[in-house]
Amino acid sequence: MKIQNKIIYLVIIIFVLYTLLYSGFIYYSISNYAFTDFYKRLEIRAATTAKIKLEKPSDVSHILEMEQEYLEKLPNQTEYILPIIKGKIQEDSLSKLLPKSLIEEVLDNTYGSDSEGVIFYSGITYQSQNGDEFMVVVSAENYFYSHHIAYLRTLLLTSLAFGILWIVFFSFVVSRTLIRPIKNIINDVRKISSENLHLRLNVPKKNDSLSRLALTFNDMLNRLETSFETQKNFISNASHELNTPLTSIIGEADFALSKERGALAYKVALGKILEEAEKLDKKTKALLFLAQTGFNGKAQKFDKIRIDQLILDVQDTVQKINSGFKFKLDFSLLPENPEKLKVKGNEQLLHLALSNIMVNACKYSDNEVVHIAFGATDKDAFIVIRDSGIGIPENELQYIYDPYFRASNTGSHEGYGIGLPLSRNIIKMHDGTLQVNSKLNGGTTVLINIPIGNYSL
């Protein structure tokens, strides 16, 4: 069932139930009042009739005058006076006109009332001045009940019918108004596929739940589009990086087997094949390690590490790899409390992450001096690595964390495009952040923040 129809049916049911309860309460209250009031009026007339009919006219002249002046005769008003002999009513043609239940009730309680259709009865027992006892009953048509209540019932039913028609129309209009933005969102979503992930939903101007839903969906599309682009770039970059050594291996093998050659020629060919195979092995291992560090890192062993000692160790290691690398360390930002330099981490992984970044800084600045500063805030230990190298084109900065991606200006520098995404994964494993700011031919600055561990020396 459509949600629009559900809203209409729900509103109608609620309206009908409320109207029935409200109308029933009004109908019951007025009907009950009509019964009580009319019985009371009949009782007064029965008492008046008893005085007038059963006492001397001279004693009740003023009552007779009051009746004639104030008591209007009721429709079909009939008066019954029945003698009570030994507590019973003699059955005759007159008594048979009255309901038996009424006679029994009056005899038992000295007062009683009853009704048959629109005719209402009210009776009392009366003892005259000469000691005789009578039952005086007055009956009349309850005009209020037979006409006004019927009119009220008709009015309520008619109002209910018109109310239902009105509420159906109102519910239909309101539901269409409420549903229209949802239908617009559904139509917009149907237009979006993997081929046009750049499309976005129109966000309603009102700051309500629907606008927040559209914004949330647009945010999800942003993430999906970024993920799709990342996967496309990864496949493209990985294919290129893995295909290059494979092409070299196949080409060298084809060349060696194209004709009979001497032992030295085969040895040279196998050497080139081995060299390319080793490159391929390094790339696949780096890719595997990158995938492993992409997990949450719970399996890694963490210990307390001092950032300043780690940087000195990394500097020593990197300079053993290439003695031409130059670093200038800035100790001016060191905190007075050395406790702030200790972080919770895996030394081997952090060593690898910093090594990659420092090697990149030296490599892409053609062995110019790389500046390294480190210090701490109240929450984080930070490291700043700044070079004056070739930088990264601004429009390519968004891809620097894609595996195997290499900027367009790095053609003359060797590399696999694995180091930076691997370093970022390692920093993320330590709940830290890695930010890269770069300007083409203006150098690159890498800022690393790692939360301070709660350790003591």
Contact 382, 446 (CB under 8 A): no
Residue 58: predicted pLDDT: 64
Give the pLDDT band of residue 384 (cuts 50, 70, 90).
very high
pLDDT at 445 over 90: yes
Q: Which ranges constitute the DSSP H helices of 330-455?
A: 347-363, 419-429
Give the pLDDT band of residue 453 (cuts 50, 70, 90).
confident
- 65-69, 71-75, 431-435, 436-440: range with lowest mean pLDDT: 65-69
Mean pLDDT of 341-357: 87
Which of 145 and 391 is assigned the larger pLDDT? 391
**Calpha distance 84→159 (Å, rounded):** 51
**Calpha distance 223→241 (Å, rounded):** 26
Q: How far is C-alpha 314 from the chain's CA centre?
A: 49
Residue 61: predicted pLDDT: 63
Closest CA to 77 of 132, 142, 28: 142
Reported as a single tens digit per residue, the pLDDT across 275-289 is 889 878 877 877 777
Reported as a single tens digit per residue, the pLDDT across 59-91 is 666 666 666 666 677 788 888 888 888 888 877
Reported as a single tens digit per residue, the pLDDT across 240-263 is 677 778 888 999 899 888 888 888
* 139-143, 154-158, 324-328, 349-353, range with greatest mean pLDDT: 324-328
pLDDT at 361 over 60: yes
Residue 8: predicted pLDDT: 74
CB atoms inside a 10 Å sphere around CB 324: 9
Please give the mean pLDDT across all residues of the chain. 83
Residue 327: predicted pLDDT: 93
Q: What whole-number percentage of the chain has pLDDT above 70?
A: 91
* 204-213, 314-323, 377-386, range with greatest mean pLDDT: 377-386
**Calpha distance 354→302 (Å, rounded):** 17
Residue 391: predicted pLDDT: 92
pLDDT at 346 over 90: no
Using a 10 angstrom Cβ sphere, with 0-12 exposed, 13-18 middle and 19 or more buried, the burial of residue 424 is: buried
CB atoms inside a 10 Å sphere around CB 376: 24
CA distances from 396 to 24, 212, 410, 420 (A): 75, 32, 12, 14
pLDDT at 296 over 60: no
Mean pLDDT of 400-417: 81
Residue 62: predicted pLDDT: 63
Reported as a single tens digit per residue, the pLDDT across 189-233 is 888 887 787 788 888 777 778 888 888 988 888 878 777 776 776
DSSP calls for 156-213: HHHHHHHHHHHHHHHHHHHHHHHHHHHHHHHHHHHT--TT-TT--PPPPSS-SHHHHH
Contacts of residue 114, Cβ cutoff 8 Å, sequence gap at least 6:
99, 101, 102, 105, 120, 121
Residue 457: predicted pLDDT: 39
Which residue in the block uniquely carries the two structure tokens 């949330």? 216
SS3 135: strand
Closest CA to 308 of 261, 251, 363, 376: 376
pLDDT at 378 over 60: yes
Q: What whole-number percentage of the chain has pLDDT above 90?
A: 16
Contacts of residue 221, Cβ cutoff 8 Å, sequence gap at least 6:
192, 197, 199, 200, 201
Reported as a single tens digit per residue, the pLDDT across 12-69 is 788 888 888 888 898 888 888 888 888 888 888 888 888 887 777 666 666 666 666 6
Residue 311: predicted pLDDT: 93
